[in-house]
Amino acid sequence: MEQATLTIQHKMQTGTKYSIYKDLFKCFKEGETFEKVVQEQADHPDDFGSVRFLEDFGSVYYEHIPNDRSIYQHQLSFSMDIPPEWFYCFSFAEMRVVGLDMGVFEAQTTVDLAMQRLQWLDVNYDSPLYHKKNELYVWLKKHARLEDRIRLCSDWIYYHPNGKYDYDFVRLDINKRIAMLKKHVDCSHWKKQAS
């Protein structure tokens, strides 16, 4: 899929709302398939889709992408590009390029930090970026909790059958894009002394 995605990673917590994800995580840890749990516990097993787990800082997070994307509000996607306002959610330390033959840009942070960064971003009111960053802030506020995380991924945007868009190409391309963005917006968490 040649789309960049920004996905909310929900923090697993106590309560019956999370019981299916706890059982799926147990299957994940034991190397078992999810099929039995989905068939027994999901309201609509055929539309359940996929779940990805992440263990970080002693907590478990999950991304759940249902097959029916029309009902899904916890992922944004953009065709063939990464919207500039998404970059502003992350510090340099949270960004990375993975893969060699096919470079993939990824970034992860907490929703709390992302919302603070968007809130304090110094953008002219007349700029289209001002309204875009506000829309992103409202989306995070509506669909995520502060303890959740977000993950940006370039997915297959940089894919080329002959490996033309490799690790170095993607790293240079992202660096150029961020250098251009820095000229137009005062982004305090992109300064060297910021965390």
- pTM value is 0.89
Interaxial angle between packed helices 128-143 and 111-120, expressed in degrees from 0 to 180 and rounded to the nearest 10: 150
What are 2-17's pLDDT values in tens digits? 899 999 999 998 887 7
Quote the pLDDT of residue 171.
94
Q: What is the DSSP letter of 92?
A: G
Summarised one tens digit per residue, pLDDT across range 22-77 is: 999 999 999 999 999 999 998 888 889 899 999 987 899 999 988 876 657 899 99
Grade residue 195 by pLDDT with cuts at 50, 70 and 90.
very low
Dihedrals φ, ψ of 171, to 5°?
-60, -45
Entry field: residues in the chain: 195
- Containing 139, the helix (H) or strand (E) segment is helix 128-143
What is the residue extent of each domain of the chain?
10-71, 77-186
